């Protein structure tokens, strides 16, 4: 017997049908995509604005992740170095891209949500994870011009940046990308309190907080205004009584994906310190790409329709979360991939 946690399932379900309470129902979504001839998110385009991605080899010094194929990537750009080789110098961007699109069925590593989507790598953060508003704005515009359906922004400005007036170039770029048809998804921020950090708190951006393996609100996740959804981000819960260890995972399990391990850019592994709203945003971007590929909203859904679908189909019932639902803590709820691709939600 295992306590309900990672192995929650409907009564009477066979062991292989067990789904994590804190998961996002990816298996059900994959089956629907397969039936609609969009297996693996084929047809969707996701831009990853981050520290770069280990998407190609560059000798000497850099190797691509063994769980990526060059065919998965569209042309990208490095706005930090000013060249067309947005290679990762940190590991964060590769981890985020892995959650979105690591390959499956190849006998290597784990799996991403949409391994057949096209990923557009855009480097806007340096080797320390720092970036400028100018580079971020340029990265957003570049991604939109490359026809990204979804733009993932797993980073946050300091809390002193609390309005678009302080990052005018970024908010103008967000407006530009939205008009070009891109849904922008951003991390709500990795500290306690409200509101969500920018750019998640900016208009036209889907702000994402993080939950644990037990669907509890995680500690160090921004809440309140600007928080639209939550998704798996790992770590310990904010409520000491929420969640538990079980036979598979400890209560504070992080998010694992294949990325750099060690001091160089040639060694890969599963470092156990990646947790945060960065990881949560990547999960939502992957699900958004599923919705695009499924055509449940038609061939070219608007960013507003995509956001509506994700929010309307999110889980918020008392038996679907690890604690009582509160919109200030969970936004519209925990993203549900299967529900999001099954049918158009009312009003979307």
**DSSP structural state of residue 334:** B
User: Rounded to the nearest 5 degrees, what angle is found at the Cα of 216, between the Cα atoms of 1 and 237?
Assistant: 95
Taking each helix axis as running N to C, give the angle between helix 303-312 and helix 277-294, from 0 to 180 degrees, rounded to the nearest 10. 110
Out of 50, 78, 88, 149, pick the active-site residue. Answer: 50
Q: Please identify which residue in the block is written with the tokens 């295992």.
A: 2
> 3-state secondary structure string, 166-222?
HCHHHHHHHHHHHHCCCEEEEECCCCCCCCCCCCCCCCCEEEEEEECCCCCEECCCC
Structure tokens, 267: 């060694």
CA distance from start to end of the chain = 42
Q: Which residues pair with 312 in a beta bridge?
A: none
50 assigned to active site: yes
Helix (H) / strand (E) element for 310: namely: helix 303-312
Taken as a whole, the chain contains a residue count of: 348
11 assigned to active site: no
Out of 278, 285, 294, 332, pick the active-site residue. Answer: 278
92 assigned to active site: yes
Rounded to whole angstroms, the Cα distance separating 294 from 110 reads 23
Out of 6, 78, 90, 92, pick the active-site residue. Answer: 92
**DSSP structural state of residue 49:** E
- Nearest partner of 305 among 178, 146, 198, judged by Cα: 178
Residues identified as active-site: 50, 92, 278
């Amino acid at each position: 017997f295992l306590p309900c946690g990672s192995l929650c399932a409907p009564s009477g379900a066979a062991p292989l049908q067990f789904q994590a309470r804190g998961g996002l129902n990816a298996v059900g979504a994959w089956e629907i995509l397969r039936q609609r001839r969009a297996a693996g998110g084929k047809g969707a385009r996701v831009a990853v604005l981050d520290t770069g991605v280990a998407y190609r080899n560059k000798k000497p010094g850099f190797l691509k992740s063994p769980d990526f194929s060059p065919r998965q990537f569209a042309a990208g750009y490095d706005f930090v170095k000013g060249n067309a080789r947005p290679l990762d110098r940190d590991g964060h961007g590769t981890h985020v891209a892995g959650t979105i699109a690591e390959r499956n069925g190849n006998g290597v590593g784990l799996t991403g949500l949409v391994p057949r989507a096209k990923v557009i790598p855009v480097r806007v953060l340096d080797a320390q994870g720092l970036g400028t508003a100018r580079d971020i704005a340029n990265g957003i515009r570049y991604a939109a011009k490359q026809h990204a359906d979804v733009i993932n922004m797993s980073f946050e400005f300091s809390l002193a940046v609390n309005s678009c007036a302080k990052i005018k170039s970024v908010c103008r770029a967000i407006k530009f990308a939205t008009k070009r048809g891109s849904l922008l998804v951003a991390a709500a921020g990795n500290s306690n309190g409200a509101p969500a950090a920018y750019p998640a708190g900016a208009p036209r951006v889907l702000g994402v907080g993080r939950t644990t393996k037990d669907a509890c609100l995680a500690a160090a996740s921004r809440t309140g205004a600007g928080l639209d959804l939550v998704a798996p981000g790992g770590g310990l819960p904010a409520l000491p009584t929420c969640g538990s260890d079980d036979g598979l995972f400890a209560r504070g399990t992080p998010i694992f994906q294949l990325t750099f391990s060690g001091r160089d850019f040639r060694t890969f592994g599963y470092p156990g310190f990646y947790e945060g709203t960065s990881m949560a945003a990547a999960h939502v971007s992957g699900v958004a790409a599923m919705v695009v590929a499924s055509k449940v909203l038609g061939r070219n859904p608007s960013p507003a329709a995509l956001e509506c679908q994700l929010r309307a189909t999110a889980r918020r019932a008392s038996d679907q979360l690890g604690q009582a639902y509160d919109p200030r803590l969970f936004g519209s709820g925990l993203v549900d991939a299967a529900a999001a691709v099954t049918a158009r939600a009312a009003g979307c």
